[in-house]
Amino acid sequence: MRSSLLLASLLASPFLLGAGPGVERPIPAGSYLPFYPARAPLGKAQPEAPRKAVAVGAFRLDVRPVTNREYLAFVKANPEWRRSEIGRVFADGSYLKHWRADLSLRSRAEGDKPVTRVSWFAAAAYCRARGKELPTTDQWEYALDDGGHRAERMKDEILAWYSRPNDKVLEAVGRKPANGYGIQDLHALIWEWTLDFNSEMSGSEARSDGTKDENLFCGAGSLNARDPSDYAKFMRYQFRGSLHADYTTGNLGFRCAREETK
């Protein structure tokens, strides 16, 4: 098992279809400019620059999003996460609605598609069962940023995807070229849960000082953003800010990550 995984990760070069379930790639430490503003606690000096680079430590990230087939194996082993068993507090009524039944997919082809209609609780439990965790928002955005590699082209691709209506039929994972870190499908297939999706305050949230942070909202607000042209990042920021942990939708899935073992 271990040697086949090792073999698979050796073969998981960006353009090969060799990446098996849960295959990861190492992501080197570095930093990136997040969309959200830097803030210090109230009463302390606020950072001079509203946005500054965030350091991200080395970690390992799944090459691809988790598929229906992989998720099926998880619910087989963990009955409490089956569609018929799950507590409504952990996932809303459309959890895994696209499956034929508790333990069966609608077709073989579904198995290769990213699992969607999973809540944050379910996604987090899956990753924990694999000895991993959901990536943090910083890790996920940093992996997408790819050290600025092909940044302009990627921005255009992402906006083109965001502006398309949701695809009725999802593609299988791993059909598109990997980025510079060897990671696939970070965009143009599904949106993904992050561990701390709820660190992004939605517009109606009362802030710790009881005032609203005008820096963060649409229209004039987005002009204050780090890079107003980076509307794609702004959309992801707003999207995560709108989620609740029990939400499930047909275009929201996940992948797992873990700390680099020292």
Partner 1 sequence: MNLNRLLTSVAACLLLLAPISASSLESRSIYRSKSLWETHAGEKTTLVRLRGAPVVATMVYTSCQMSCPLMMNDLKAIEKALPAAVRSQVRFAVFALDSANDVPAKLRDFAEKHGVDLTRWTFFHGSPASVREVAALLGVRFKELEGGGFDHSNVITILDSEGVIVHQKLGLRQNPDDTLKTLERLAARR
Which of 145, 185, 200, 230 touches partner 1 by CB under 8 A? Answer: 200
Closest to 53 measured CA to CA, from 36, 35, 34:
34
φ and ψ of 245, to 5 deg: -65, -20
211 binds partner 1 (CB under 8 A): no
- CB closer to partner 1, 28 vs 87: 87
Q: Positive or negative, the Cα torsion across 144, 147, 148, 149?
A: negative
- Answer whether 72's CB lies under 8 Å from 81's CB: no
Tokens of 215: 């820096």
Contacting residue, 38, 129, 159, 188, with partner 1 by CB under 8 A: 38
C-alpha to C-alpha distance for 49 and 73, rounded to whole angstroms: 47
Stretch that binds partner 1, among 7-15, 95-103, 177-185, 190-198 (CB under 8 A): 190-198
Q: Among 57-65, 66-74, 200-208, 250-258, which window interacts with partner 1 (CB under 8 A)?
A: 200-208
Are 60 and 80 spatial neighbours (Cβ–Cβ below 8 Å)?
Answer: no
Q: Tell me the site size for partner 1, rule CB under 8 A.
A: 32
Which residues are 25's β-sheet partners?
61
Distance CA 102, CA 108 (A): 15
Of 33-41, 97-105, 107-115, 173-181, which part binds partner 1 (CB under 8 A)? 33-41
Question: Is 97 a binder of partner 1 (CB under 8 A)?
Answer: no
Does residue 33 touch partner 1 according to CB under 8 A?
no
Give the residue, chosen from 1, 2, 41, 219, that forms a contact with partner 1 under the rule CB under 8 A: 41
Calpha distance 135→143 (Å, rounded): 10
94 vs 157 by CB, closer to partner 1: 94
User: Which residues here bind partner 1, judged by CB under 8 A?
Assistant: 38-44, 47, 87-90, 120-121, 124, 195-196, 198-202, 204-210, 241, 244-245
